[in-house]
Structure 1
Amino acid sequence: MAHTAPARTGPRTTHHPTIPLRANLLLPALAGIVYGLWTSGIARHAGPITGWNVLLGVISALAFAAAAHGIHTIAPRLPRELRAATWAAFAGIAFGFVYSLTDAGIVKTVGLSLVITAGVFAVVFYRYYTTED
């Protein structure tokens, strides 16, 4: 014969996960480090490492991480269209800056940035549209 499990006798403890908070800070920081290394590497043009390359990489990493963290913080309060547009603009600007360091023409840089922006917008909008409550 089946029996019920005994009831809990002690006080109930609630577990508040800290992983989302850590991820909210850790992911933009790691992405900023990668972006800064990528930026400084492209700006070197296969030459020696200089202080200006390092400074460009550090400033790019800080700006990227701060912008990504800001978007992570603000985006949940935005409607899905504006949220997708925000992430798309962020991706397009980040790509455009790095691509402009390759000494490519302005028309090609803007064109590729717009393609990246449109692609990111389509993917992110689809994700938010299909998973929204």
Structure 2
Amino acid sequence: MAHAAPVTAAVTTRGTRTRTRPPDIFGPRAHRIGRWALPFAIGLVYGYWAAANRRSGGPITGWNLAFGFITAIVFTLVTVGVLLLGPRLPRELHALLWFAYIGIAFGFLYIQSGETVLLATGLSLGLGVIAGLICFYWVYTHEDAEGHHI
């Protein structure tokens, strides 16, 4: 027996343009939970990674666990802040925010492994510039001339 394909909803944007949107399979409650659960899960991975880099393969201690959990909490809060603040900024500041966020996050992880500050700074700047350019391009191609999301 054949089943019909799901219908996509038409969304009217400013002006006369319309675009199609795939059907939303999750409800509003699932989206609210996901807005906090995904950054929290990423924060736990980040905290574990930072703690593992800091102990350099040595034994797991209480201070190492505390460092990992504190890092996870701070990273989660900063991630939520970036996700909430970013879309409200103009495209240049939005890209600059992601440049700083990704560069600092990578630099913090890299410096925990015991490498030099100069090498960590250079790699962080390089990765941050790439992320900032990608973010600027994405935001630039998803906004109209007045800065409204398409």
TM-based fold match above 0.5: yes
Q: TM-score range by the shorter chain?
A: 0.7 to 0.9
Task: Give structure 1 regions of 4+ aligned residues with deviation exceeding 4 angstroms.
Answer: none
**Structure 1 unmatched runs, 5+:** 1-15
Q: Mean Cα displacement is larger for which, 70-79 or 91-100?
A: 70-79
Residue of structure 1 in register with 2:129 after alignment:
118
The answer as to 2:29 corresponding to 1:18 is: yes
Task: Tell me the number of residue pairs that the alignment of Structure 1 and Structure 2 aligns.
Answer: 118
- Aligned partners of 2:76 and 2:97: how far apart in 1? 15
Task: Give the secondary structure class of the aligned counterpart of 1:18.
Answer: helix
Residue of structure 2 in register with 1:31 after alignment:
42
The answer as to 2:64 corresponding to 1:53 is: yes
Larger % of helix: which?
1
Residue of structure 2 in register with 1:3 after alignment:
none
Residue of structure 2 in register with 1:96 after alignment:
107
- Aligned partners of 2:59 and 2:77: how far apart in 1? 28
**Greater relative CO, 1 or 2 (CA 8 Å, sep 6+):** 1
Please give the TM-score of this superposition, normalised by the length of structure 1: 0.84
Q: Cα RMSD (Å) of the superposition? A: 1.2
Aligned residues: percent identity? 40
Q: Measure how far apart 1:23 and its partner are.
A: 2.2
> What amino acid does structure 2 have at the position aligned with 1:49?
I
- Is the CA contact 1:88–1:121 (under 8 Å) kept in the aligned structure 2? yes
Bigger-Rg structure (1/2): 1
Residue of structure 2 in register with 1:10 after alignment:
none
- Is the CA contact 1:84–1:121 (under 8 Å) kept in the aligned structure 2? yes
